[in-house]
Amino acid sequence: MKDNTSRSTATTALQDPIFPEGIEGCIGNTPLFKIKSLSDATGCEILAKAEFLNGAGNSPKDRVALSIINMAEADGLLTPYSGDTIYEGTVGSTGISLAAICRARGYLAHICMPDDQAKEKSDLLEKLGAEVERVRPAPIVDQNQFVNRARNRAAEHTADPNRRGRGIFADQFETQANWQAHFNGTGPEIYTQTGGRLDAFVTGAGTGGTISGVARFLKPRLPKLKVVLSDPQGSGLFNKVKYGVMFDPKEREGTRRRQQVDTIVEGIGINRVTSNFEAGRELIDDAVRVSDEQAMAMARWLVEKDGIFVGSSSAVNCVAAVKVALQMGPGHRIVTILCDSGMRHLSKFWARVGPIGGKDDVTLDDVLNAATKQNGLVEKPNQEWGV
């Protein structure tokens, strides 16, 4: 073969590349891509922010975990390799992100999580070297609730003279480092990637940091933008946004099966208002309820139509994005979040989804009408969304 390296004197010399600094350098700047099947079916551009491609814990919680650790370091609260330990109460994703970044920075992680979450999450945490404490689900007023347990464990660590280092409570539900991570990262990225043209932003809320941070960045720049909360069954945020009352029909006596939020969806949905949700609540224009059956039908659809394999909260977001697209009409651009891979939901959510393939005649109407009776007392999808 000819050596063409010197065929032109105009050839520009290669520059030394700039590499990301550690695993933390692989967080953020995630792709925004078009979900072809949903866009074709609705006549809108439905774009997905691929947050499952963040490089540490593979979810949007990478941004939050890094922000929390950076803030603690700036305040002089953490010293690498000293035994300093970050404690957090989480249903999984924030803990996974914290565990990975703690390892990279020279800290330890102690994660308290409800024992009804998918086992893959606690297994992964242990493989990342975190100490995992699985606790029985309990209301937030109970000191044994997973968030309160983590807070107490951090205080016990710091107070114990026989333990190395100190305990730091991450406090993802209340710390401003949460929504600020999305104000400084996710929001600007979406604005740039869409060229400043989008009509709606749709996402769920667990801590509320994503929806608040993104809304606070985008709304001043795009005053006509519609910010919509996607909420699973059993969560009270839907009614909080729509009617100003934190209530869900499944809270009625004798109807709730689970201690916290009565849904198989993990990562979003809550029955209290956090500081992070409150930070952007006035900027949320509307809310969409999504049943477990709709989420499972959408998860199956995304695999069969697009080869996209995501977790339960991402499926909820996509159902809500479709409902918003149908309400707004063709020609609009909607952005939503794909939070994490379905790999950490195999034993719970995906075990309920059922077999994939063999149903080529499934329509988007079938997805949206999946067990609509589960949607509670206030939303009737067939009428409200015109499908």
Sheet of strand 45-50, all strands in order from the earlier edge strand to the far edge: 32-34, 45-50, 333-338, 200-203, 226-232, 286-290
pLDDT at 356: 86
Closest C-alpha among 155, 171, 154 to residue 89: 171
Neighbours of 217 (CB within 10 A): 22
The residue written with tokens 């297994």 in the block is 123
Percent of the chain exceeding pLDDT 70 equals 88
Contact 204, 298 (CB under 8 A): no
Per-residue pLDDT tens for 208-240? 999 999 999 999 999 999 999 999 999 999 999
Distances, alpha carbon 91 to alpha carbons 117, 201, 207, in Å: 7, 24, 11
Residues of 303-325 as b/e, b for ≥16 C-beta within 10 angstroms?
bbbeebbbbbbbbbbbbbbbbbb
Closest C-alpha among 307, 293, 305 to residue 363: 305
Could you tell me the pLDDT band of residue 3, with boundaries at 50, 70 and 90?
low
Contact 165, 83 (CB under 8 A): yes
- Amino acid letter at 144? N
Q: Which two structure tokens, joined as six digits, stand for 319?
A: 């159902």
Contact 105, 69 (CB under 8 A): yes
pLDDT at 261: 64
Rounded to two decimals, the pTM is 0.89
pLDDT at 208: 97
Residues of 148-158 as b/e, b for ≥16 C-beta within 10 angstroms?
bbbbbbbeebb
- The predicted model gives 85-90 an average pLDDT of 96
Mean pLDDT of the chain: 90
Could you tell me the pLDDT band of residue 382, with boundaries at 50, 70 and 90?
very low
* C-alpha neighbours within 13 Å on the C-beta side of residue 170: 35
Kindly write down the DSSP assignment for every residue of 342-387, as one continuous string. GGGGTTTHHHHH---SS-TT--HHHHHTTTGGGG-SS--HHHHS--
- The predicted model gives 109-118 an average pLDDT of 92
Could you tell me the pLDDT band of residue 155, with boundaries at 50, 70 and 90?
very high
Neighbours of 96 (CB within 10 A): 29
Domain boundaries, the chain: 24-53+175-372, 61-169
Run of H or E including 73: helix 61-74
Q: Between the ranges 133-142, 176-185, 360-369, where is the mean pLDDT highest? A: 176-185
Could you tell me the pLDDT band of residue 259, with boundaries at 50, 70 and 90?
very low
pLDDT at 139: 84
Per-residue pLDDT tens for 289-343? 999 999 999 999 999 999 999 999 999 999 999 999 999 999 999 999 999 999 9
Q: Could you give phi then psi for residue 355, rounded to 5 degrees?
A: -65, 150
- Domain 24-53+175-372 fold is Rossmann fold (3.40.50)
Interhelix angle 93-105/119-127, nearest 10 degrees = 0
- The predicted model gives 92-117 an average pLDDT of 95
Mapping DSSP onto H, E and C, the string for 137-197 reads: CCCCCCCCCHHHHHHHHHHHHHHCCCCCCCEEECCCCCCHHHHHHHHHHHHHHHHHHCCCC
Report CA 268 to chain centroid distance, whole Å.
7
Contact 55, 122 (CB under 8 A): no
Taking 80 as the threshold, does the pLDDT of residue 147 lie above it?
A: yes
pLDDT at 387: 30
Closest C-alpha among 46, 27, 33, 19 to residue 321: 46
- The predicted model gives 134-143 an average pLDDT of 88
- Domain 61-169 fold is Rossmann fold (3.40.50)
| Active site (catalytic) residues | 61
- The predicted model gives 37-58 an average pLDDT of 97
